[in-house]
Chain A
Amino acid sequence: MPTAPEQPIMHCRRLVLWTLASAMVLVSCGGDNSVALDGDSPSLAGIVRQPYPDVSGVVLPEAADDGKQFATKAESGHLLVVYFGYTACPDVCPTTMSFLRRAVRDLGDDASMIDVAMITVDPERDVPDRLTAYVENFFADGYALRTEDAAALQAAADAFGADYEITVDEGGLVEVAHTGFLYAVDPEGRIRVQWPFGTTAETMNEDLAQLIQGGV
């Protein structure tokens, strides 16, 4: 039986986060001085936050491999694309993963430079086998990350600027709300670009190609 989350909804924290995120977007749009530091971001179609958010400290267990600890940063020369989702999600998550799969496939030889990790926001229902099979359906070498430590999951989401909320309705139906971004993380653990839900495979493909060809 799923149990209702005990934590009250933290509107305030969310509001602050989003205000901060929006402010960063604004800054990155208007601030040529900060963008010029790296010189690689002005033509990315996704959202570039400045300074790049640092998620190198996020370490979560893999659902497979006996819970081996996985840090959300890319291998050298690679990009790690991270998603917060859940498997009982009929519309948003499979659409996003499917678009990303096409974006990566269309990179051709460079596809091997992209790794993908999905962090479940619904660990209670996303038991390890279920989550692993879900991720592998889209990316054979993808990483399925799952923790039952609610504080660790929240801290990971906070580092990325992601959010989620699980409620159970009167009929016992579990309802999950979550932010729908994909985050491309570089080898230093910095979010170089993020794409909102609905970003096309073509757009993500072009951004990924640009970052990979730029040496990440």
Chain B
Amino acid sequence: MTMRRLAMLFAMAMVVASCSSSSELDVEDAWARNSAGMADAGAVYMTINGGEEADRLTGVTIGSNIAGMARVHETAMDDDGLMSMQEVPQIDIPANGEVNLEPGGFHVMIMPLADRLTAGDEFTITLNFEQAGPVEVTVEVREE
């Protein structure tokens, strides 16, 4: 009896584990545009898929071999039509939701760039989430 109960608990634990692993937060399609000439600022875009639990992106770090700093920004337009970038302290990632970092919206600004970004190159950045912790992301440089 005890053995059977243990086995059942074990089986249930396995099911739970496999469920949560399939709905963990993940990041896909991370990319940056190739640098235009000597431009020393870049932007990283991506899609963040929320896991079972709501989470929050609280910061981004980048190696100094790529850029001096990485900040989460949002492009915003004021009533006069002037567009500027505002630092975003955090982005809420709803449970099972999708958050897009895309041109004209949220993006990770990286600057100053150590070297120009060339199409075909890849580099990594680390996204820091309140629940999921640090998530390393490979960013593809594209000419788009």
Contacts and interface: CB of A to CB of B under 8 A. Distances in A.
Interface of A: 11, 14-15, 18, 87-92, 94-95, 97-98, 129-130, 132-138, 163-165, 175-180, 197-198
24 contacts: A15-B80, A18-B80, A87-B36, A87-B37, A90-B43, A90-B107, A90-B110, A90-B111, A91-B103, A91-B104, A91-B107, A91-B109, A92-B83, A94-B43, A95-B104, A98-B33, A129-B38, A130-B39, A137-B37, A163-B80, A177-B83, A178-B84, A197-B77, A197-B83
Interface residues of B, number: 27
A177 B82 contact: yes
A91 B85 contact: yes
A177 B78 CA distance: 9
Nearest to B112: A88
B82 A164 contact: yes
A119 to B, nearest CB: 16
B50 interface: no
Contact of B37 (A91, A134, A175, A198): A134
Given A91-B73, A133-B38, A197 B104 contact: yes
A133 B36 CA distance: 7
A134 B36 contact: yes
Interface string B98-136: 000001100101110000000000000000000000000
Contact of B41 (A14, A89, A135, A180): A89
Contacts of A164: 82
Contacts, number: 90
A197 B33 CA distance: 17
B38 A98 contact: no
Interface string B60-84: 0000000000000101011011111
B84 A177 contact: yes
Specify which of A91, A130, A135, A165 lies most central, judged by the most chain B CB atoms within 10 Å of its CB.
A91
Contacts of A88: 39-41, 111
Given A90-B111, A92-B75, A138 B36 contact: yes
A133 B39 CA distance: 9
Contacts of B109: 90-91
A90 B33 CA distance: 9
Interface string B36-61: 11111111000000000000000000
Contacts of A165: 82
A11 B81 CA distance: 12
A179 B82 contact: yes
A175 B84 contact: yes
Nearest to A164: B82
Q: State the 7 A-B residue pairs at the shortest beta-carbon distance, nearest first.
A: A133-B37, A177-B84, A137-B36, A95-B103, A90-B43, A90-B41, A177-B82
A18 B39 contact: no
